[in-house]
């Protein structure tokens, strides 16, 4: 057989780069960037080769594993599912559904299985104890966007290709490749921004790679972005720089915001932020003066004490300066499929609520149908009615990703029963009673249902599988469907076809029942017939493309988009630059952008209260590296080679004070734990702040390469007791720590 090339979107990070994969027989012999990809134009980062490495990795799980006599042993799929049914059934029979918990990790957002089938499985579980990586990540942005725009995924993204001024806070896209902003080749995009005379400003406690490449780096005390942004907004009001322009008629609450922020002057916040008042004022004036500008905040602004306030204030600044929803500003993508803000009645909706239930132990409110991940450990280890006794993890590694990881691992080890859907036996899944493998990326199809709702250009790309599944191996969506059937009481025998037909029928019914939908009132049977013979995620994707803004509306617009037409564009389909979408994109009850939602104004009391507590001492932040991907790409030799990455970065002044030397060792302690780690002295980090990346601390797993590069688990130090109250998001940055030198090993 001659070599063949196939095109495939990279599923590893949010950039969605197009890959060109060359295959000989069943062997992947090369992976490079697809030069004709409509979005990435040939760009890839070093992790792209990881897609091939995952395919080959001998440590990857390929058959179900079941615990027998204390050891995980390979079994057939039937036996694996039967064991799941037995184990979960026993817990539910003995203690009810509340004794179940599900944790869904990050890769669910990067694939077609998670996008279309996870929610069905979660519903079938019938438990309030749903957790996900979202409350370790972007939940504050969902809350602020839900409150302001009416839907949690209606998140403005910076129009990076056209803006004249980009203010980035708490993001490092040169390492992360962008987040809540789908944009391959951010390095190129930022370079072009500066080449066309634009200005790039980065606010970060570290001089990150992105800050290095910027016009200006503003060092900020961790956890104080909301203070800085509030003072910038109050400056705009004080200096008469508020100019919403065309937006004015779509905004409500401007005067309430003016009043609420009045006391938060640059002088008031400067000592907390450690940014001087003159700089804060200048940042506000520059933002107002730029012909177009966008403010963009990411993980550093979310995973902190004032995460929802900071996320809100980012968009308050975009709105007050007239940059929200304008070309070159912060804009709402119009995704081809699955976006709530493109279907139904435009411009108005039911609004957004949280707190429909509360966590058992700490009483934290539900957000988007889930509870804060920071609560998972206590829900397992706190005795009493309703205690969690069985856990299903799907594409997650909470032992490395959750706060208070030491406690969480002990809690997990004490569960009655645990099931993991994963590709590795890692720090978390090694505690499972049953591990169900997901196939490696190249043997599955791909569409970015979620990430394309956040793209800086409207595009769509679909990839069919590059390699066939191993015979007898279910795809991940089929595993989720089967788990849902087990949880829903239909057991292991119900035929998958029938289960899948039921899912499709439900989705079609929802679409025809939605007021203002393009297929409102149509006959579901007719639509299902038009979707045949597709099944699985492809059938659901075809449905969502066809009822979406570019779709054929099942015949209503015969030239419109269908999956078949998308497949005919293997390099992707360019649907054009972002266009203004207000008021249509809104789903608020008022039909306006609600600039002053009551819960946010109320939370400002907490912010004002924090002005008095001028914290001294060291605080800990995280960081990312281009060659790493959270916890799970460390078994790829080419990506972990080179100098130690899991180091404690510390400023020379702090190092001197504590007798720390570069390459030496230190003990870092916090309220909840301590770790011993290699020291890296660098003036890239501001005094008073230290940094350790997350995703490390590999031990006791079946991942041989990762075991040779263990690093330490930073989340042993992170205090699960600290959350942003409105979102329940964990506070992963700005954690108080102590550091002392250790004698050389
Ligand atoms: N201290 C600190 N902690 C953090 C962060 C931080 O910045 N600092 N960042 C947080 C953020 S933003 C996130 S998103 C979370 C991530 O937290 P998690 O989602 O819990 O962890 P990941 O490391 O992404 O682990 C992904 C898991 O999915 C598995 N996997 C990979 N591909 C697939 C697949 O296709 N199917 C299945 N079923 N499994 C797959 C991997 O083997 C791995 O076990 O970590 C959070 N934790
Ligand atoms: N290579 C690589 N790419 C990734 C990932 C990965 O692990 N590796 N993870 C993916 C995931 S799950 C996510 S969510 C995204 C995240 O994408 P980004 O948000 O770009 O994440 P980081 O690269 O961690 O950059 C966060 C920056 O915030 C700074 N920071 C910390 N605390 C604060 C603070 O209080 N205020 C301010 N202003 N800054 C602060 C840190 O110093 C750091 O430079 O990346 C994704 N892409
Ligand atoms: S930036 Fe790298 S990891 Fe992210 S999608 Fe592109 S090639 Fe994949
Ligand atoms: Mo994330």
Q: Give the long-range contacts of residues 695-699, CB within 8 A, separation 24 or more.
A: 695/397, 695/400, 695/401, 695/628, 695/629, 695/630, 695/631, 695/632, 695/634, 696/400, 696/631, 696/634, 696/645, 696/646, 697/400, 697/405, 697/427, 698/426, 698/427, 698/634, 699/427
393 CA: nearest ligand 1 atom: 38
Beta-strand (E) ranges in 461-569? Answer: 462-463
pLDDT in tens, 381-408: 999 999 999 999 999 999 999 999 999 9
Q: Is 177 in the pocket of ligand 3 (CB under 6 A)?
A: yes
pLDDT tens sequence across 331-383 = 999 999 999 999 999 999 999 999 999 999 999 999 999 999 999 999 999 99
The tokens for 63 are 């058959």
Q: What is the pLDDT of residue 93?
A: 97
Query: Percentage of residues in the chain with pLDDT exceeding 90?
Result: 98
Residue 368 CA, chain-centre distance (Å), reads 14
What are the tens digits of pLDDT across the range 93-134? Answer: 999 999 999 999 999 999 999 999 999 999 999 999 999 999
* pLDDT value, residue 627: 96
The pLDDT assigned to 613 comes to 75
SS3 readout for 665-723: EEEEECCCCEEEEEEEECCCECCCEEECCCCCCCCCCCCHHHHCCCCCCHHHCCCCCCE
> What atom in ligand 1 is closest to the CA of residue 424?
42
Span from the CA of 732 to the centroid of ligand 1 (angstroms): 14
Q: How far apart are CA 443 and CA 410, in angstroms?
A: 35
* Integer CA distances (angstroms), 293 to 219, 284, 286, 494, 681, in order: 21, 11, 9, 55, 35
User: Is the alpha carbon torsion for 29, 33, 39, 41 positive or negative?
Assistant: negative
| 65, 261, 265, 303, 689 from 306: Cα distances, Å | 42, 15, 17, 8, 18
Per-residue confidence (pLDDT) for residue 398, from 0 to 100: 98
Ligand 3 atom showing the smallest separation from residue 33 Cα: 7
CA distance to 190, 393, 492, 505, 686, per residue, from 483 (Å) = 44, 12, 8, 19, 48
Nearest to 250, CA basis, from 579, 590, 598: 590
State whether the beta carbon of 424 lies less than 6 angstroms from ligand 1: yes
* H or E stretch at 566: helix 563-567
Q: What are the pLDDT digits (tens) for 592-647? A: 999 999 999 999 999 999 998 766 899 999 999 999 999 999 999 999 999 999 99
E-state strands within 395-527: 417-422, 434-437, 446-447, 457-460, 462-463
How far is it, in rounded angstroms, from Cα 374 to Cα 672? 13
CA dist., res. 575 & res. 461, Å (int):
11
Residues 6+ apart with CB under 8 A from 613: none
From the CA of 401, give the closest atom in ligand 1: 47
pTM over 0.75: yes
Taking phi over 0 as left and psi of -120 to 50 as alpha, with beta for the rest, 643 belongs to beta
Give the binding-site residues of ligand 2, using a 6 Å CB cut-off: 13-14, 106, 137, 169-173, 175-177, 179, 203-206, 208, 220, 222-223, 225, 298-301, 304, 621-626, 628-630, 733-734
117 CA to middle of ligand 4, Å? 20
DSSP codes joined into one string, 33-91 = E-TT-TTTTT---TTHHHHHHHHH-TTS--S-EEEETTEEEE--HHHHHHHHHHHHHHH
How do 330-331 and 157-158 pair as beta strands? antiparallel
Q: What is the mean pLDDT of the chain?
A: 97
Q: How far apart are CA 137 and CA 110, in angstroms?
A: 15
Task: Check: CB of residue 207 under 8 Å from CB of residue 217.
Answer: yes
Ligand sitting nearest the alpha carbon of 626: 2
> What is the three-state SS of 324-385?
ECCCCCEECCCCCCCCHHHCCCCCCCCCCCCCCCECCCCCCECECCECCHHHHHHHHHCCCC
**Residue 559 pLDDT:** 97
- 423 CB under 6 A from ligand 1? yes
Nearest CA to ligand 3 atom 4: 13
Q: Which two tokens stand for residue 448?
A: 């970015």
Q: Which residues contact 606 (CB under 8 A, 6 or more apart)?
A: 306, 725
pLDDT for position 429: 98
Listed residue (456, 448, 156, 147) closest to 297, CA to CA? 156
In the block, tokens 């029928």 appear at: 505
pLDDT of residue 745: 64
Ligand 4 centre to CA of 726 (Å) is 19
C-alpha span between 644 and 663 (Å, rounded): 10
pLDDT of residue 496: 96
Q: What is the mean pLDDT of residues 451-479?
A: 97
From the CA of 15, which ligand is nearest? 3
Q: Residue 744 — very low, low, confident or very high, per pLDDT cuts 50/70/90?
A: confident
Closest-lying ligand 1 atom to the alpha carbon of residue 624: 7
What pLDDT, on a 0 to 100 scale, did the predictor assign at position 171? 98
CA 66 to each of CA 63, 98, 428: distance values in angstroms, whole numbers, following the listed order: 10, 24, 15
Residues 738, 700: contact at Cβ < 8 Å?
no
Distance CA 50, CA 93 (A): 43
Question: Is the backbone of residue 353 left (phi > 0), alpha (psi -120 to 50) or beta?
Answer: beta
pLDDT of 727 strictly over 80: yes
- The pLDDT assigned to 29 comes to 95
Q: Which residues pair with 662 in a beta bridge?
A: none
Q: Is 322 in the pocket of ligand 1 (CB under 6 A)?
A: no
Whose Cα sits closest to atom 2 in ligand 3? 45
Mean per-residue pLDDT for 283-289?
A: 98
Distances (CA, A) of 298 to 80, 177, 327, 404, 643: 40, 12, 21, 22, 27
Going by C-alpha positions, the residue among 496, 486, 387 that lies closest to residue 86 is: 486
């Amino acid at each position: 057989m001659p070599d063949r090339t196939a095109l495939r979107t990279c599923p590893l990070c949010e950039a969605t780069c197009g890959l060109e994969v060359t295959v000989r027989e069943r062997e992947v012999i090369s992976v490079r960037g697809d030069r004709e990809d409509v979005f990435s134009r040939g760009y890839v980062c070093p992790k792209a080769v990881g897609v091939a490495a995952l395919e080959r990795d001998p440590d990857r799980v390929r058959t179900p594993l079941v615990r027998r006599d204390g050891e995980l042993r390979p079994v057939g799929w039937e036996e694996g599912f039967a064991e799941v049914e037995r184990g979960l059934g026993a817990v539910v029979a003995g203690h009810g559904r509340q004794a179940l918990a599900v944790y869904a990790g990050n890769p669910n957002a990067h694939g077609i299985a998670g996008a279309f089938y996870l929610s069905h499985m979660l519903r079938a579980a019938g438990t309030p104890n749903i957790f996900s990586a979202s409350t370790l990540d972007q939940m504050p942005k969902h809350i602020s966007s839900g409150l302001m725009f009416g839907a949690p995924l209606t998140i403005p993204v910076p129009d990076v290709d056209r803006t004249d001024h980009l203010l980035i806070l708490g993001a490092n896209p040169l390492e992360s490749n962008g987040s809540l902003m789908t944009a391959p080749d951010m390095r190129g995009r930022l370079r072009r921004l500066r080449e066309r005379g634009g200005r790039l400003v980065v606010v970060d406690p570290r001089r990150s790679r992105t800050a290095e490449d910027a016009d200006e780096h503003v060092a900020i005390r961790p956890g104080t972005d909301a203070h800085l942004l509030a003072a910038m907004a109050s400056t705009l009001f004080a200096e008469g720089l508020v100019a919403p322009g065309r937006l004015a008629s779509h905004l409500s609450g401007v005067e309430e915001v003016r009043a609420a922020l009045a006391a938060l002057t640059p002088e008031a916040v400067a000592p907390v932020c450690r940014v001087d008042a003159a700089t804060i004022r200048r940042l506000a004036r520059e933002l107002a003066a730029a012909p177009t500008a966008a403010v963009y905040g990411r993980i550093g602004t979310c995973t902190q004490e004032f995460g929802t306030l900071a996320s809100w204030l980012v968009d308050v600044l975009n709105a007050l300066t007239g940059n929200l929803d304008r070309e070159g500003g912060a804009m709402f993508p119009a995704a081809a499929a699955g976006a709530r803000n493109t279907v139904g009645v435009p411009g108005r909706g039911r609004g957004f609520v949280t707190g429909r239930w509360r966590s058992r132990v700490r009483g934290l409110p539900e957000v988007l149908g889930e509870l804060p991940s920071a609560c998972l450990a206590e829900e397992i280890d706190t005795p009493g009615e309703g205690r969690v006794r069985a856990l299903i993890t799907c594409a997650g590694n909470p032992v490395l990703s959750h706060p208070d990881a030491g406690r969480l691992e002990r809690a997990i080890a004490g569960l009655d029963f645990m099931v993991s859907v994963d590709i590795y036996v890692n720090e978390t899944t090694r505690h499972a009673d049953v591990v169900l493998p997901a196939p490696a990326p190249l043997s599955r199809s791909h569409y970015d249902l979620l990430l394309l709702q956040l793209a800086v250009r409207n595009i769509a790309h679909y990839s069919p599988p590059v390699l066939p599944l191993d015979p007898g191996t279910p795809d991940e969506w089929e595993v989720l469907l089967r788990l849902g059937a087990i949880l829903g009481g239909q057991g292991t025998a119900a035929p998958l076809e029938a289960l899948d037909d039921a899912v499709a029928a439900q989705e079609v019914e929802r679409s025809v029942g939605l007021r203002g939908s393009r297929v409102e009132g149509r006959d579901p049977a007719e639509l299902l017939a038009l979707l045949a013979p597709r099944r699985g995620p492809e059938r659901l994707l075809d449905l969502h493309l066809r009822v979406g803004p570019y779709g054929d509306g099942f015949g209503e617009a015969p030239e419109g988009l269908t999956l078949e037409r998308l497949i005919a564009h293997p390099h992707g389909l360019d649907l054009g630059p972002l266009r203004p979408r207000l008021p249509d994109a809104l789903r608020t009850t008022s039909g306006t952008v609600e600039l002053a939602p009551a819960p946010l104004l109320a939370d400002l009391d907490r912010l004002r209260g924090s002005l008095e507590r001028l914290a001294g001492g060291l605080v800990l932040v995280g960081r990312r590296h281009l060659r790493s991907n959270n916890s799970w790409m460390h078994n790829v030799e080419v990506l972990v080679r080179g100098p130690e990455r899991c180091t404690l970065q510390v400023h020379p002044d702090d190092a001197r004070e504590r007798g720390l030397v570069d390459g030496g060792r230190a003990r870092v302690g916090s309220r909840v734990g301590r770790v011993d780690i290699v020291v890296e002295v660098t003036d890239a980090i501001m005094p008073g702040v230290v940094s350790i990346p997350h995703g490390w601390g590999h031990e006791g797993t079946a991942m041989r390469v990762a075991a040779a590069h263990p690093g330490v688990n930073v989340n042993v130090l992170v205090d699960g007791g600290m959350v942003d109250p409105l979102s329940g998001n964990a506070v992963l940055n700005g954690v108080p720590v102590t550091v002392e030198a250790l004698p050389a090993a």
